[in-house]
Amino acid sequence: MTFDYDLFVIGGGSGGVRAGRIAASEYGAKVGLAEESRMGGTCVIRGCVPKKLMIFAASAPDAAAEAQGYGWTGADAGRFDWDVFRARLDAELTRLEGAYTRGLESAGGTIYKQRAHLIDPHTVGLADGQRITAKHILIAVGGRPHLPGIEGQELGMISDDLFTMDRVPGRVLVVGGGFIACEFATILNGLGAETVLAYRGDKVLRGFDRDGRDLVTAQLDEIGVDVRLGLSPLRLGKDGAGVRAHFNDGSAESFDAVMFATGRAPYIKGLGLAELGVHCGPKGEILVDKYSQTNIPSIFAVGDVTDRVNLTPVAIREGHSFADTVFGGQPRFVDHDLVASAVYTRPHELASIGMTEDEAEARGGVEIYDARFRPMRSLFAGSDARVMMKLVVDAETCRVLGCHIFGPEAGEMIQLVAIAIGMGATKADLDRTIAVHPTLAEELVTMRQPTRRHDVPEPPEHDAPERDMAAPQL
């Protein structure tokens, strides 16, 4: 049987484009791809990239304040002009969209700028009525914001809307306590919005290390976000040009805008999965084996639509492994253990890899090395901000099982620690590494005594050292 394509990809985001590009450029596959929106997907168009640029924008007042601490009198970030920033952001996203388009097309792939759905195991239907056949079909459609299902929720924004707002709202409510809620509350606050964050739990970032969660919760408060814990809106109503939120504690408040950051769900609506009998899990996630193959052998899925680890670099790796396996004859799969991630709050980020202290406590046989200090840079400028670095170490093998960093550029640091941890580094390996002084990261190789032990006999526990990082440890 002959097909129009060797591979047809539904979704032009990070995972789909990588899979299509590698299949075409490295293995000579004939590739088609359908994208209903802009090439680049969530990460490039309405996620990681514009979000991080907005974090940079929101950090300018901190930089100006720090400059004053270093003797720059009159240092002031000035007035933030959303229109100027947004025009520059749009231009940058258009540039990246072009790069994604060219990346696939220059590899020989064909892009269909329209919606696609499955018709049979080898056929895809396009919005304009075309039918396209392919030996293999890859679903890489990602996820979409999940709303809590409350009355009036259509009056709220989702994270996508942040990048296309007409203006920065004067007073905004962010609902949720995950990655997006923490990052977007940080951005909105930094851009001058009076920001309230309502989270139903007792500290943000469930699933992260407990001390990191405490520190992010406290930092949000310190930068001026009004963090309301144990609070959720039950209903939204119109209030002039704004929105009135009615909360679970009986209170009600008005905002210029409400943003839901209450999770994301696989974007499977209208794909035709059920009609074809593709197995999905309870959240709608497409169920795949370790090679990203569904129960229908010609259909594969990668990225957020499979709800494994919902991060761009994971989707890219899954897409690449799929291409290597199916078109390169080199069976490869992604190890979803030990994936590092960072939450880009400001001024300190929270970055993590591996076992948290809660998990360590449940497992036992673990030592915790925990350092707290005030970094010399911000301390000199008059800030009291503290960094935390924590290592979770197996008491018997000395292997480092987890690392959690709360500090400036923590995402950059965890990336490098992840290499060592992925290679099976022990605490002795870190101890043997000579510090680069003066840096923040040197603390990772200079922690001497465990501060806590979980289910390990002896010796007594030490308090986490609290100090200023102005001089090397003696």
Pick 255 or 369: Cβ nearer ligand NDP: 255
**For residue 72, what is the DSSP state?**
-
Contacts to ligand NDP from residues 119-158, by CB under 6 A: 148
The minimum distance between CB 150 and ligand NDP, in angstroms, equals: 8
For ligand NDP, the nearest residue by Cβ is 178
Pick 126 or 215: Cβ nearer ligand NDP: 215
User: Of 279, 336, 437, 462, which one is the catalytic site residue?
Assistant: 437
Tell me whether the omega of the peptide bond preceding residue 457 falls within 30 degrees of 0, making it cis. Answer: no
Reference 357, options 186, 468, 215; nearest CA is 215
Q: How many CB atoms lie within 10 A of CB 65?
A: 17
Residue 418 phi, psi dihedral angles, 5° rounding: -60, -35
Lookup: tokens for 380? 């000199």
- Binding to ligand NDP by residue 266, rule CB under 6 A? no
**Continuous H helices in 170-272:** 179-190, 210-222
- Binding to ligand NDP by residue 227, rule CB under 6 A? no
Pick 31 or 339: Cβ nearer ligand NDP: 339
Inter-CA distances, 287 with 123, 138, 154, 293, 309, Å:
20, 13, 30, 8, 13
The minimum distance between CB 188 and ligand NDP, in angstroms, equals: 14
CA angle 213, 218, 223 (to 5 degrees): 130
Q: Active-site residue 437, yes or no?
A: yes
| Tokens 């957020």, located at residue | 304
- Binding to ligand NDP by residue 181, rule CB under 6 A? yes
The minimum distance between CB 429 and ligand NDP, in angstroms, equals: 27
**Continuous H helices in 106-209:** 159-162, 179-190
Total binding residues for ligand NDP by CB under 6 A? 24
Reference 62, options 181, 200, 148, 191; nearest CA is 191
- Binding to ligand NDP by residue 177, rule CB under 6 A? yes
Contacts to ligand NDP from residues 185-204, by CB under 6 A: 199-201
The minimum distance between CB 257 and ligand NDP, in angstroms, equals: 17
In the list 61, 178, 303, 407, the residue contacting ligand NDP (rule: CB under 6 A) is 178
Pick 189 or 341: Cβ nearer ligand NDP: 341
Contacts to ligand NDP from residues 340-379, by CB under 6 A: 341-344
Query: What's the distance, Cα to Cα, between the start and end of the chain in Å?
Result: 73
Q: Catalytic residue numbers?
A: 437
Interacting residue ranges for ligand NDP, rule: CB under 6 A:
148, 175-181, 183, 199-201, 206, 232, 261-264, 310-311, 341-344
